[in-house]
Chain A
Amino acid sequence: MKSLAELQAIKAKMADKVQLREYDENSAIRVVVGMATCGIAAGARPVLSKFVEEVQAKNLSNVMVTQTGCIGICRYEPVVEVMEGTKKTTYIKMTPEKASRVVLEHLVNNKVVEEYTIGAAEKAGE
């Protein structure tokens, strides 16, 4: 079973990596997950976990995953916003599976997953 003693080993391993993580603002991507009551009830917690997990697994040091409150479009929750400089993409009705795809296509390959965006939903008249 895990004990606090293990942290020493992790600490040693991380010591060299911490320097590398200082990312440069220009290429930074922020993934913001709405975590108010509406988001949580709609399933935002596993979506957030998936983003954190995948970003770590793929070692995307320019990506920061953060939480925010109610974005104001509760019927579309779980809502995830991806911010790159002044560009913002709003993904709606997210699931952990959709999150994996957004990480791969958008965060890694820089191609917005159009079908999950709020724009696509509004066009479809949802």
Chain B
Amino acid sequence: MKEISLNILDVVGNSIKAKAKRIDIILAESVQRDVLELTIKDDGCGMAPEFLARVTDPFTTTRTTRRVGLGLPLLKMAAEGCNGTFSIESTVNVGTCVFATFQLSHLDRMPLGNMPETIVTLIGADDKIRYVYTHTTDTDTFVMDTKEIQDTLGEEIPLSAPEILAWIKDFVKENLENIKGGNL
């Protein structure tokens, strides 16, 4: 993957397939601590311990079109390849939490890339899911909660309407710029 935001898009896809109703994406960037921390937390169906134990093995997958699954292994590789860490916790019927860190200044760290596009792609994939995206820097925080947006719009207008997606993309972009975040 060329951007960490693509890893995020891919791994959140697992949460969608796990029938999550709420997905939290938390990015904490700290220049002071030289770290980017990523948390993806869902309330989906979770995984049994046996499956969880081999979930970062590329030859583990739920897909039926082929025998390899590379989403989590690629994220793990991206994190560990730049002096970071990767961990995953999961409980059946409760949910799953993926946690990864990246050393900001490491030469091999991929750029974060286009988070606004990742967010609207996820909303487009399933706009019934409540996505809460929290982005923090050393000094500021931006939170986007799709429930707030949906409540403001009312029920008759779907979040996946093209006009709304376009607005959300700009909304996320401008707010990230405002907290001087996401540009790494």
Known: A35-B121, A40-B6. A10 touches B156 (CB 8 A): no
Asked if B121 contacts A45 (CB within 8 A), the reply is yes
Interface residues of A (CB under 8 A from B): 1-2, 4, 6-8, 10-11, 13-14, 18, 35-38, 40-41, 45-46, 48-49, 52-53, 55-56, 65, 67, 69-72, 74
Partner of B156, one of A8, A13, A18: A18
Asked if B167 contacts A10 (CB within 8 A), the reply is yes
Asked if A52 contacts B124 (CB within 8 A), the reply is yes
Cβ of B149 under 8 Å from chain A: yes
Partner of B163, one of A8, A35, A56: A56
In the complex, how many angstroms separate the beta carbon of B52 from the nearest chain A beta carbon? 19
Neighbouring A residues of B70 by C-beta, 8 Å: 37-38, 41
Asked if B63 contacts A45 (CB within 8 A), the reply is no
Asked if B175 contacts A1 (CB within 8 A), the reply is yes
Partner of B148, one of A4, A36, A40: A4
In the complex, how many angstroms separate the beta carbon of B25 from the nearest chain A beta carbon? 15
In the complex, how many angstroms separate the beta carbon of B120 from the nearest chain A beta carbon? 8
Interface residues of B (CB under 8 A from A): 1, 6, 9-10, 13, 17, 63, 65-66, 69-71, 74, 114, 117-118, 120-121, 124-125, 148-149, 152-154, 156-157, 161-167, 170-171, 174-175, 178
**Main DSSP-derived SS at the B contact region:** helix
- For residue A41, which residue of chain B has the nearest CB? B1
**Main DSSP-derived SS at the A contact region:** helix
In the complex, how many angstroms separate the beta carbon of A32 from the nearest chain B beta carbon? 12
Asked if A72 contacts B66 (CB within 8 A), the reply is yes
A-B contact pairs, 18 of them (CB 8 A): A2-B167, A2-B170, A4-B148, A4-B149, A7-B149, A10-B164, A10-B167, A11-B152, A14-B157, A35-B121, A36-B13, A40-B9, A41-B1, A45-B118, A49-B121, A52-B165, A56-B166, A69-B17
